[in-house]
Structure 1
Amino acid sequence: MGDQRHMEHRPVQTSAVYVLGATHGDSMPPPSPPSPPVSPPEEEFFEELEELSLGSPDDIPESDENCTKVQDRLHAATHVLKTEAAALRAVANLYETDPVARDGFNRTVAAVTRHKGEKGKLIITGVGKSGHIANKLVATFNSLSITSVFLNPIDALHGDLGIIQKHDILMFITFSGKTSELFSLLPHLEKPASLVILTGHTRPDTCELIKLRPDTILLPAPVHESETASFGVSAPTTSTT
């Protein structure tokens, strides 16, 4: 065999390193760090933008057509507010002057007070927009320490009727006074349970629900004119105020 060249394994030198027992040869200088990239002058990347001015609203010309649209929009909005305010004034006047409304209000307050003293609760039910109003009333009564819950009439027929106890008072909210989902509850309610109806009717003999349950307390909440007459559409606005 020929002479084999003895190879010495040494660590890569990145600084002055001395290996004990190693043959000292010419030391290798550490590798140079990579050169940082040379950036082109700043002006080659972008040019400074001039400040964008949006101007003031007074500087924006407005056509006569736009002015008319704005005025029409504001007129429609204030018309809704004034109509709803007129409806509230009409209801306030009703409870100031009408014996049926005044009697219904006093009987409702007495029933709520009596049931509260008996540890009963106020259960309010309604469908659709009336259901939203019912939830709002529940929140208001609870804030006054009058224990209240919302009962969905659909769920009530599928097991939730068990929430109604002996000393509870039940309030129906139905503007028409003939909501079918509420009609379906009547056969399942015990006679001793106090029942109040908040409706658009002002007389018991015009309300279909009261005809089926004559002991129901009437709380009238009519509107002074239909929403169709007020706004051209029958969407619930005044009747839900």
Structure 2
Amino acid sequence: MTSPLDGKVAPFGNAVDKFHNFLHDPAGDIDTESGSMPNLRKLSDELRGIAANTAEETAGDRVMAIEDRIYPGVYSTPPTHKPHSGAPSAEGDRCTILVDGVAYEHLLSGGGWVIPNIDAAQLAQPNGSARVGFVGVAPGSVPATVAEILRNAPSVWLFMSPALRADSLSGNPVLNHTPAFQAAVDYAIARGINKIFINFGQGQKYRFEGTVKILSGDFALTGDHSPIRGLMPVGPA
């Protein structure tokens, strides 16, 4: 490049040439009085690279931050820690947990994982009680579901057919309720539960035509009445 001042103010002409090289040369370095330095195109390339790396790192950090609040994947048991940072799960975190084999979104609220926005149709399903939280009254009680609480004292009512239930509600039962009671006792003992619940709240009565075997030295029959009433042992015909 030539300059009208070439030969008159030589340093100025050199500076113009170097400035032209700085602006227009392919990416590389140029020589200056202070040494070599990257020209504009090289600086632009380097800045674009830095910006891209920074954006990628920022996006990665943002994804991890989001996934520490909305956990990826499906959990078979409620998680206790965030998936990336390893910090304890916090109020407002969300994740998907299997409930009786069905995946449901959960929200950590009140110290326990609950299913938000559950509707009546979902509650009416056979596993509806597993979707409802239960908070104990004792200090330090561990949050649980209604299903877990009910399983701690299974009701003999759950082991009866509709016909047996109707018979017990008649006030004068004629069917044999012994197998249902035995099934409830066996279910409880097999799971380390030491009691069953017997329903009397609607005036139920139960008829026994056999013996209920309780193969446990520490087992209780609980119910709506104390002491329990309404059991009708029947001797040989």
Q: TM-score, normalised by structure 1?
A: 0.20
Higher relative contact order (CA 8 A, sep 6+): 1
Higher helix share: 1
Name the larger-Rg structure: 1
Q: Normalized per residue, which structure has more strand?
A: 2
TM-score (norm 2): 0.20
